[in-house]
Amino acid sequence: MYNIRLSNFEGPLDLLLFFIKRDELDIYDIPIASITHEFLEYVQIMEMLDLEQAGEFVVMASMLIQIKAQMLLPRDEKEGGILDGIDEDDPRAELVRRLLEYKRFKEASETLATAADEQRYVLYRQVFDAEE
């Protein structure tokens, strides 16, 4: 998995999204342009594009951009105002939902991969009819 290096964070992109969700990192402090530039340099160094990894990056980066854009929009005082926690209109709530769904799919794919690996070592005995 691709790791991001920022002044206040170093690790995988899904961990960065987790910290943003928990309000340990401020979305306004995340330089999305530099993350994208760094990822493109990483792809050029690899000289081969891993489509699965690139797809994960595009999805996570688009979530960051969407959250950042929604956080910049002015809020109506009547609808939300100052929030004690994360409400339904907060874009981070959607991020939490997507991260939980992403986690479920990732765990399911790991379970299926493990089952497929274990299945390679299973041999089935051929059953013969007694009439033959």
Encode pLDDT of 112-122 as tens digits: 999 999 988 88
Overall pTM surpassing 0.75 (yes/no): no
Q: Tokens for 63? A: 């979530």
**pLDDT over threshold 70, residue 127:** yes
Which residues on neighbouring strands pair with residue 58, listed in sequence order?
Answer: none
Question: Can you give the residue ranges of every domain in the chain?
Answer: 3-119
The pLDDT tens digits of the residues spanning 61-110 come to 787 777 777 777 776 655 444 334 545 566 666 666 776 777 788 889 88
d(CA 69, CA 76): 16
What pLDDT does 73 receive?
73
